[in-house]
Structure 1
């Protein structure tokens, strides 16, 4: 079987092992307190942990899935989105949280097919939580060395619980949450927001401020495998295409309860 024909679900095991190895590299940098912090041209931070995780993931994917292109945050300027199948990774999502000493940072690895995230893993190195999901086989959460357990978006006929960015709340988000009439809003960082909706801890995650494709693809894959969906505000499915580029537009990630989209 060629790499291009490998079913997405069969890659979840290797992707999980690679993400955990990258997480171990991140945690080693944190323990050594030698981050090598610099500022990238766009003003975002870059640390030795980002670079160490990047090396681990690239090496792991080259061994586990040779022939599938790898697009990473640190090298995306040299890549395009025209390949029918590629990995989209963020070695350290939530670098600001990592630098600040918070725990809300993740390793994100997604498999994209024709613009759709069909498999993904999200690993939280600080506490060892791992979410995995692939099209057609559902999603799971594993805590440390414990067994993986299925997760599913929750059905609710009561007040909606929203999850929002810890550091990027804006007026558009506040207006949308007010329109929905949410009963509670939880704030977390990184792709953990998608995972919270995927496991039934929240019902909706709106994002109107800027994000990049590698920030969202793995979390979207987990959420959609768990029964959720991600849409543009106008109601179109949220995709990763050359027309859209690496910078995402606005999106709304939903669990089981999706009200009509506001125009």
Structure 2
């Protein structure tokens, strides 16, 4: 098989895996007891996080036994594989705080990293049934009903809008750095959302910019980054370079921590900023 055919086959399998994980997440979501506890880093975790990760890890090991998998809950348990040029990044339940609050804004994230770049990504929103997927062949979304897509639709990030930027920001994370940055841009509106849904909205052209001045981990955004890049956008560091993924991206921080970044539609956000770049 050609590389293109291999990646297309992988993408189909990853969608099916995300759907299976989502079924388990919804089972816990609809139960009376989510088994919530607080991890050492202060973030919540539930039975759904662990159960979904088991499903994903077993499937990836079955289909691609030679590709290491870096998964959030495994890393928190001290199980960190040695990675090379090709590895998976998995967040079995991105937006656990929203899951606990039953807001619906949580996702299943699976990404393939190659030479530091996210090349294949799948994001599933179990409550709404939305699935986003991206690869070098492009980006698509579909609404799934009873495990089947109604129709796959090509999506594309948009360029700079004439009427000002629609900025999407974290619902739970606010910072002085964000406000200072936005003050130097032609912003028309700022909306709030949670989880990797923010990157999906950029990829489908429903928002233009997502600046992040707060701590994130590689598995939080890699799948969304893959989809966004496939749709013509990008996730940038504040040095003006596309974000890369690996174990030691931020000095003196945990493995797989991300630097601050800004995700954009089909344009370079540094072209729009006035004044000095953020430190």
Do the two structures share a fold, i.e. TM-score over 0.5? yes
Structure 2 match to 1:226 = 231
2:258 alignment partner, one of 225, 248, 254: 248
Gaps of 5+ in 1: none
Structure 1 match to 2:143 = 143
Measure how far apart 1:28 and its partner are: 0.3
| Whole-angstrom CA distance in 2 between matches of 1:187 and 1:8 | 33
Q: Are the equivalent residues in 1 in contact too, given 2:116–2:244 (CA < 8 A)?
A: yes
| Whole-angstrom CA distance in 2 between matches of 1:182 and 1:23 | 35
| Whole-angstrom CA distance in 1 between matches of 2:268 and 2:192 | 20
1:237 aligns with 2:247: no
Q: Are the equivalent residues in 2 in contact too, given 1:120–1:217 (CA < 8 A)?
A: yes
CA RMSD, Structure 1 to Structure 2 (Å): 1.8
Structure 2 match to 1:38 = 37
Q: Are the equivalent residues in 2 in contact too, given 1:163–1:193 (CA < 8 A)?
A: yes
1:89 aligns with 2:93: no
Structure 2 match to 1:18 = 17
Q: Are the equivalent residues in 2 in contact too, given 1:8–1:111 (CA < 8 A)?
A: no
| Whole-angstrom CA distance in 1 between matches of 2:35 and 2:205 | 37
Moved more, 197-206 or 172-181: 172-181
Equivalent residue runs for 1:1-263 within 5 Å: 7-76=6-75, 77-80=78-81, 82-135=83-136, 137-144=137-144, 145-155=149-159, 156-244=161-249, 245-259=255-269, 260=271, 262-263=276-277
Measure how far apart 1:84 and its partner are: 1.3
| Whole-angstrom CA distance in 2 between matches of 1:45 and 1:114 | 32
Normalising by structure 2, we get a TM-score of 0.89
Normalising by structure 1, we get a TM-score of 0.94
Q: Are the equivalent residues in 1 in contact too, given 2:225–2:235 (CA < 8 A)?
A: yes
Q: Are the equivalent residues in 2 in contact too, given 1:80–1:242 (CA < 8 A)?
A: no
Measure how far apart 1:5 and its partner are: 10
Gaps of 5+ in 2: 250-254
- Count of matched residue pairs: 261
Against the structure 1 CA distance between its residues 6 and 74, is the aligned structure 2 distance closer, same or farther, given a 3 Å change threshold? Answer: farther
1:37-75 residue CA offsets vs partner (Å, 9 max, x unmatched):
111111111100001101110111122222211110011
